[in-house]
Amino acid sequence: MNNIIFPDIDGVLNVNDHSVPSVSNAILLLKEAEVLNPGAWVKHSENVALAAKLIAEKCGMDSDKAYVLGLLHDVGRRFGVSYLAHVYNGYQYLLDLGYNEAARIALTHSFNLMVLEDYIGKFDISIEKQEELRLLLASTKIDDYDLLIQLCDAMALPDRIADLETRMNDVKSRYGSYPQEKWDRNIELKDYFDKKCGTDIYEILNVSIK
């Protein structure tokens, strides 16, 4: 990847400390969240999960774990329509359930540059909570699962898995802008997983570029 350093993930994860729910429990959590706050975000989450599973299968990662992390990355939306608040709420919710690793993904999925200013959307939480997120991002060690969900989040629409440019232009049309550095980072993430899988991930996902 160009001009980018990925973290050394050897030894970072300890499955006893960074837990995720089972696939069946994750599905139940998402269904419960959908009842509380129905919306297109649920189908988006399911497509993130599917993309993550398919890529994980190809590149030797745990596909069930990737699927679960994809399903729950936006679970903070269970508390209502929100923007940055869904990150904070999802992190705290999963942490309270004891799903530490899933909580970490709920935190990191929106920040492929790992800084708070990376977020696209309203900052609808207090200054104190913003500072809490800023400190968490600065101190969080990420691994390939964080990177995978960041990438899949940048490809998943509610109705399909799309190429990055289509999805990012969709976000740009809704929010008015898409930072170039964040855009470029997503392209780098795709290149990283292309190389990790030994093939173009668009082929794995059956994505055609229009």
- Domain residue extents for the chain: 23-205
pLDDT in tens, 103-119: 999 999 999 999 999 89
pLDDT of residue 65: 96
Average pLDDT score, the chain: 90
pLDDT in tens, 139-175: 999 999 999 999 999 999 999 999 999 988 888 888 7
The dihedral region occupied by 156, where left means phi > 0, alpha psi between -120 and 50, and beta the remainder, is beta
pLDDT of residue 18: 52
Q: What is the pLDDT along the chain (210 residues), one digit of tens a residue?
A: 333 333 333 323 333 335 899 999 999 999 999 999 999 999 999 999 999 999 999 999 999 999 999 999 999 999 999 999 999 999 999 999 999 999 999 999 999 999 999 899 899 999 999 999 999 999 999 999 999 999 999 999 999 999 999 988 888 888 777 888 998 999 999 999 999 999 999 999 999 876
Name the packing angle between helices 84-96 and 100-108 (round to 10°): 170
In contact, 193 and 3? CB cutoff 8 Å: no
Distance CA 70, CA 126 (A): 27
Spatial CA neighbour of 157 closest among 78, 76, 41, 58: 41
Architecture per CATH, 23-205: Orthogonal Bundle (1.10)
What are the C-alpha distances in Å from 10 to residues 143, 146, 184, 191?
9, 14, 26, 21
